[in-house]
A and B are shown apart, each in its own frame.
Chain A
Amino acid sequence: MTTPVLLRVRNLKTYFVTEQGKGTARAVDDVSFDLYSGETLGIVGESGCGKTVTSLSILRLVPEPPGHVLPGSLIEFEGRNLLALSAPELRAVRGNQIAMIFQEPMTSLNPVFTIGDQIAEAGIIHQHLSRGAARARAIEMLRLVGIPDPDERVDHYPHQLSGGMRQRVMIAMALVCHPKVLIADEPTTALDVTIQAQILELLDRLQHELGMAVLLITHDLGVVAGHADRVVVMYAGRIVETAPTDALFERPTHPYTEGLLAAVPRIDTPRARLHAIPGQVPAATAWPSGCRFHPRCPYAWDKCVSQEPPLLEVGDQASHTARCWLVTEPGRRVPQR
């Protein structure tokens, strides 16, 4: 691929100091990935795997205290380390070059302002639009995200809109300044399935029209399958597998990815019960030794308990890596329990 790297994340560590000295929650622990311009990168994992903290860390929105991004982490956007920017420099990036949409459209809009005011806000902050121009821009954005009667809707308050409409408004807010990167943190989780599909299609369309890169964070592999170019699978604060979307679905290598795929309901294979990965994500204050997935892994052996595997290349493809000893010993892919 010759497209330039837009956002380079290296060795990102975001820890939270817990109360009463219970220790440090290593929510994101040494995560590295690249986002190329124009592509959609999916980040997948269960709740508590560090997906959201990763995305918040990029814009330095992690609440401090208790959280902090450790020195040595690098988040490079167009050659500048976001972690080293001053507050005003950072504000000039937020909402302008990197924008974000959140999981809960119900609570992510300010209840006391009209949606027009809120959509225009980024334009007022970054482009110093006049009142009239801001309003015109808000109407234009509402039209772009497919809200009917934008001239009228612009004066409505968030509580007058449905969940799907509010998520469209959130998208409109994020895209006012035509950012180069859009971070979408579970943009469809709070919505019902048909609205989900509409919102994802909208994101796809806007991505092509505006030529931006999307970091799509989700726990839903179905969403990733249809909309991401590449996928990063996270477990317990670590990346466990990265691959182009097709490769991941054809050849899931990490047992965690395998488990996630088996847990997706499929229309083409009849199955009585859905597969579930046994157990839960462990607490971030005490990740397991060795491979962090070993307590839940059907293939785990002694080596997995004592040594954590690095990200290993799967086959001869540099673009497909998995953090699993099975890559070196494929013969052991036999369920132990």
Chain B
Amino acid sequence: MTLGTWLALFVALVVAAEAVRALRHRGLRQERWRRFFRHRTTSWGLGILAFLVIVALAAPLIAPFDPDRQIDILHLTNHPPSGTFLLGTDFLSRDLWSRVVYGARVSLGIGALGALMAVSLGTLVGALAGYYQRWVDAVLMRGVDVGLALPRIFILLMAVALWDGLPFPALVIAIGLTSWFGTSRLVRAEVLSLRQRDFVVAARALGADTGRVIFRHVLPNAAAPIIVSAALGVGNVLLLEASLSFLGIGIKPPGASWGNMIADGATSIYTAPWSTLFPGLAISLVVMSLNAVADGVRNALDPREEPA
């Protein structure tokens, strides 16, 4: 680690902390933002996520080495963490810190895009099934049953076989298309109970059309479970990417993602635990932060006071 990379890291930390502080400060004047920041964990989660995003964006400044470069395959394999190699090196003598930093780009990208796609699809299908009921519901939910019954890895393996290796966008789409089933069931259940509520009937009595009723009156009231499922979904997608990489059908080596770093390190987990520990920690950190932020968003969207 050179002085420059330390400095860049420090700047990233300060920027993340300052951004959260500024947002918090400004937000205190607005009811919705005040509810968002009600719990300290939300600020921490937001800060950590902001930090990781900045690190991913500024990867060339923060990573001291080329993430794919085998520094010294004879003498520096599985080197424990040190001043030069902040998180140690892996079995090919690549700098783990640099790989974690660059891997953040891939993993956060897949996680965010995959989960966004999955949750949007799931919400749409669930809302349609729950609102229209009858044959729409029957057809969509039988489809979801099939989707839940098919092993996801199997579908993805098939996709790989058909396209002969997945480029990044295809991987995101494949993950998105196979991860929405749970969300759609959740949303359907919410919509089923919400559509009978008095305020939904009142909205229809005011002349609101179906789209307006679903998107303004039904779904916002189902926001809490949807957001929580999105936050958990990002974690799931990260883990799915890890297992795909483990099977050799995710991000192709030598490219770094947190998932394939874990896969790479698994062979030497007893001699060099740091090579799996740190990417694993990164994934856990993201999932926990997302949960904290999801709680905040839920508080912000639900104007009723928390039960004491």
A contact residues vs B (CB 8 Å cutoff):
59, 61, 63, 65, 87-88, 91-96, 99-100, 102, 104, 107-113, 121-122, 125-126, 157, 159, 170, 173-174
Contacts and interface: CB of A to CB of B under 8 A. Distances in A.
Given A112-B223, A112-B302, A94 B198 contact: no
Kindly name the residue among A59, A96, A110 whose own CB sees the greatest number of chain B CB atoms within 10 A.
A110
9 contacts: A65-B134, A92-B207, A94-B207, A99-B206, A104-B198, A112-B223, A113-B220, A121-B203, A157-B304
Contacts of B197: 107
B153 interface: no
Contacts of B204: 61, 94
A111 B212 contact: no
Kindly name the residue among A61, A87, A95, A112 whose own CB sees the greatest number of chain B CB atoms within 10 A.
A112
A109 B304 CA distance: 13
Interface string B193-214: 0001111011111111100100
Contacts, number: 78
Contacts of B302: 111-112
Contact of A121 (B198, B206, B221, B303): B206
A95 B206 contact: yes
Nearest to B212: A125
A159 B217 CA distance: 16
B173 to A, nearest CB: 32
Given A94-B205, A109-B202, A126-B207, 8 more contacts: A61-B204, A87-B209, A91-B208, A92-B207, A93-B207, A95-B208, A110-B221, A174-B206
Nearest to B302: A112
B304 A125 contact: no
Shortest 7 CB-CB contacts between residues of A and residues of B: A95-B206, A95-B207, A94-B207, A157-B303, A107-B198, A108-B198, A100-B205
B206 to A, nearest CB: 4
Contacts of B212: 125
A159 B303 contact: yes
Nearest to A92: B207
A107 B207 CA distance: 18
Contacts of B216: 110, 113
A93 B206 CA distance: 9
Nearest to B196: A63
B160 interface: no
Contact of B199 (A99, A109, A122, A126): A109
A136 B304 CA distance: 25
Contacts of B134: 65
A59 B203 CA distance: 12
A102 B202 contact: yes
A159 B303 CA distance: 8
Nearest to B200: A110
B227 interface: no
Given A112-B221, A112-B301, A96 B198 contact: no
Nearest to B208: A125
Contacts of B304: 111, 157, 159
Contact of A111 (B202, B206, B221): B221
B26 to A, nearest CB: 18
Contacts of A122: 206-207
Kindly name the residue among B206, B216, B223, B301 whose own CB sees the greatest number of chain A CB atoms within 10 A.
B206
Nearest to B197: A107
Interface in B45-100: none
B207 A91 contact: yes
Given A63-B196, A110-B199, A125-B212, A96 B207 contact: yes
B209 A59 contact: no
A121 B199 CA distance: 13
A11 B223 CA distance: 43
A170 B212 CA distance: 19
A94 B206 contact: yes
B215 to A, nearest CB: 12
B246 to A, nearest CB: 42
A163 to B, nearest CB: 14
A110 B206 contact: no
Given A102-B198, A159-B303, A159-B304, A110 B217 contact: yes
Contacts of A109: 199, 202
A113 B209 CA distance: 18
A107 B217 CA distance: 13
Contacts of A96: 207
B291 to A, nearest CB: 22
A66 B43 CA distance: 48
Interface string B259-281: 00000000000000000000000
Kindly name the residue among B201, B209, B217, B221 whose own CB sees the greatest number of chain A CB atoms within 10 A.
B201
A86 to B, nearest CB: 12
A186 B202 CA distance: 14
A107 B196 CA distance: 11
